Amino acid sequence: MSIPAFDPRTPVLPLRAEIDEAVGRVLDSGAFILGPEVSAFEEAFARWLGAKHVVGVANGTEAITIALRALGVGPGDEVIVPSFTFYASAEAIPPTGASPVFCDVDPLTRCVTADTVRAAITPRTKAVLVVHLFGNVAPVAEIAALGVPVVEDTAQATGADGTRADGTVAKAGTLGAAGTFSFYPSKNLGGFGDGGAIVTDDDAVAEQARLLRLHGSRAKDTYLEVGYNSRLDAIQAAILGVLLPHVPAWVEHRRAAAARYRASALADAVGLPADGPSSSPAWNLWVVTHPEADRIAAGLQERGIEARAYYRQPIHLQPAMEPWAPFVPLPHTTQLAAEHLALPISAAITDDQIDEVAAAVAELA
């Protein structure tokens, strides 16, 4: 492909020597699971986010499961989750013993809102899992005002900013009762393999999350819970520690790319995303809409431009989710699933590439 959908490799090439040194430090130490490298990254990430606790885990999916359990979610409970998102957001709920309850999203921000969540609340609702989809930011404060704890799936939104109930600006992932992150390589802060984290200001939630990630144990001979083998690897933590200081610049590059797309011929050719209210998105993906999205994608492919749909089949229509069919209509989810198309964006995309993509889309639309 002459223009890839995303490019995680180019931004880290200048950091190769620092990364090699960090990996070598771990190899020399022999401490590969948890240990000082993980603690150092947890502390650095917490400072950067402005959070009290970061708990490193094996991946973003288990981060959600553990965060929910640490908040007391269990059998018989319900967790509200959007259907227009990656499957893992909902997949992480049944292992807690709770049931996913699907809600719709706003057609422009593609995130849940207080209204879409309110429509799905029942007496059994124990938590709301908001997804900051594509790097946009859901209105966490408005949703929390409904009286249900909010967990943020921030996998696609590292570096985004939102607004708390008191009007202060804060990082996505620190707006609710707990936030979860993925360090999958394509994310805004991506490692060289799987990894994840739970973020919270609540001491009890953090303590329970640390217990659950280590087989439900504080010591190796006493197990207080049926937990998980879900620990952030030291090598990944060391690499993430090298990359973290560069995330602000990478996010600003993504924001500039989004602004250039907005000012291009795209605006008259396809539907563009709207920023979440009182937020600054981080744009992990740049997703537009068009009734013939697949035809446009095929035309872009012929021109050497990589574009793709992510969620053609919403989660509530996936075979494994049949037991939890939604009880409220999801019209915006249905339309977005059929019409969305992710165009190239990354921390390395150039103005010329953006202009080429925009011109090709406008011609095809």
pLDDT at 53: 98
pLDDT confidence of 250, banded at 50, 70, 90? very high
Residue 69 has pLDDT above 70, yes or no: yes
- Half-sphere exposure of residue 225: CA atoms within 13 angstroms, side-chain side: 21
Q: Encoding tokens for residue 110?
A: 């593609």
| Whole-Å CA distances, 145 to 128, 136, 139 | 12, 20, 10
Q: How many CB atoms lie within 10 A of CB 130?
A: 31
- N residues, the chain: 365
pLDDT at 70: 98
Domain span(s) for CATH 3.40.640.10 in the chain: 10-245
Domain span(s) for CATH 3.90.1150.10 in the chain: 247-364
Domain 10-245, CATH among 3.20.20.70, 3.40.50.300, 3.40.640.10, 2.60.120.10: 3.40.640.10
Helix then strand then coil, % of the chain, to nearest 5 = 40, 20, 40
pLDDT at 221: 85
Residue 219 has pLDDT above 90, yes or no: no
pLDDT, tens digit, 9 for 90 and up, residues 190-213: 999 999 999 999 999 999 999 999
pTM: 0.97
Q: Phi, psi (5° rounding) for residue 266?
A: -60, -35
C-beta separation of 19 from 193 below 8 A: no
pLDDT, tens digit, 9 for 90 and up, residues 99-128: 999 999 999 999 999 999 999 999 999 999
Q: How many CB atoms lie within 10 A of CB 20?
A: 12
C-beta separation of 60 from 181 below 8 A: yes
pLDDT at 220: 79
pLDDT at 1: 61
Residue 132: closest CA among 314, 250, 284: 284
Residue 83 has pLDDT above 80, yes or no: yes
Mean pLDDT computed over 336-351:
98
Amino acid identity at 303: R
pLDDT, tens digit, 9 for 90 and up, residues 4-31: 999 999 999 999 999 999 999 999 999 9
C-beta separation of 173 from 153 below 8 A: no
pLDDT at 81: 98
Q: Which CATH superfamily is domain 247-364 in?
A: Aspartate Aminotransferase, domain 1 (3.90.1150.10)
Q: Encoding tokens for residue 31?
A: 């401490």
Determine the angle formed by the axes of helices 234-243 and 16-29, rounding to 10 degrees: 150
pLDDT at 126: 98
Q: Phi, psi (5° rounding) for residue 100?
A: -75, 135
Q: Encoding tokens for residue 106?
A: 């706003």
Q: Encoding tokens for residue 18?
A: 């620092």
